[in-house]
Amino acid sequence: MAQDSAAGPARRAGDHGRRGRLSREVVLAAALELVDREGLSALSMRRLGAELGVEAMALYRYANGKDALLDGLVEALHLELELQLDEGRAAPDADWRAGLHRIAVHTYEVCLGHPHVVPLLATRMLAVPLAQRPLAVLRSHERILALLGTAELGPARTAAAFRAVTAWILGYVSVELGPMVDNPAETDPSFRLGLHRMPAQELPTLRGITPVLAERGGRAGLVVGLDALLDRFTAEDV
C-alpha cells in the first residue's frame, strides 16, 4: 500500500506528468512524437499515458479515445501548416495563384516531416463530417477557398477547383511518400527496387519507369501539376 501511495498525487490527479502540467497541446505533441518515431500502430491511450508519465485515464480529459487522438494528429499537422504559412507574413498573398503555391509547398514540407500521419489526412476526413472537423482543418479549407474566390471563378468552378487542388496536393504527397525500395542493402538498382519481382511480359512499362518513379518529384513537380490544374479552371472555355 505504501508503494501505491508513493506513486504520488500527480498520477492520481492525472493532470501532471513527466512533461509538467498536462494540456491538450502537450498530449497532442506527445502523440505526434510517438507516431513520428514508431508509427500509427504504436499509438494507444495506454502507451501515450506511459510516454507522458500518467495513467491512460488521465488523457480522457483531453481526448475521449483513440479516434479523438487520430483527429488530434490531423489537427496538429494543420496547426503546424498554419504556423509555417503565417510566419513572417505581414499581409495576405497579393496573387491567388502564388498563395496556392505557398500552401501546396508548405503542406508538402509538413507532410514529409510527419510521414506516418499523412494517411490520416484522407482516412479521418472520410470518417468525420465537415462541420465536426478540427477548426484548424476548417481554417485550411477557408484559406484555399478565399484564394480561389479572388480568381472570380464563380461558385461552381470554385468548388470544383477546391476539390481538384486539395486532391492533387494530398495525392502528390501520398505518392511521394509511398515506399519504393524493395531491398535497401542491394547496390544494384534493379534488385534494390525489386524489378525482378515484376513479371516482365505483363508489366513492361512499369518496370521501365520504376527507376524514375523512385526519384521524388519534389516541390517543382508539385507546383507544375498544380498550375496545370489551375490553368484548366481558369480557361475561358470551361
* DSSP secondary structure letters along the chain: -HHHHHTHHHHHH-SEETTEE--HHHHHHHHHHHHHHH-GGG--HHHHHHHHTS-GGGGGGT-SSHHHHHHHHHHHHHHHHHHHHHTT--S--SSHHHHHHHHHHHHHHHHHHSTTTHHHHHHHHHHS-GGGS-HHHHHHHHHHHHHHHTTT--HHHHHHHHHHHHHHHHHHHHHHHS---S-TT--SHHHHHTGGGS-TTT-HHHHHHHHHHTS--HHHHHHHHHHHHHHHHHSTT-
- Full residue range of the structural domain in which residue 38 is found: 14-64
pLDDT single digits (tens) 143-170: 999 999 999 899 999 999 999 999 999 9
- Give the residue with greater pLDDT, 59 vs 12: 59
pLDDT single digits (tens) 71-110: 999 999 999 999 999 886 756 667 999 999 999 999 999 9
37 and 120 both lie in a single domain: no
Confidence of residue 13 (pLDDT cuts 50, 70, 90): very low
- Give the residue with greater pLDDT, 88 vs 129: 129
227 and 203 both lie in a single domain: yes
Average pLDDT, integer, range 34-56: 94
Q: Of 64, 89, 105, which residue constitutes the final position of a domain?
A: 64
Q: What is the pTM of this model?
A: 0.84
Residue 144: the pLDDT is 96
Q: Of 31, 64, 97, which residue constitutes the final position of a domain?
A: 64
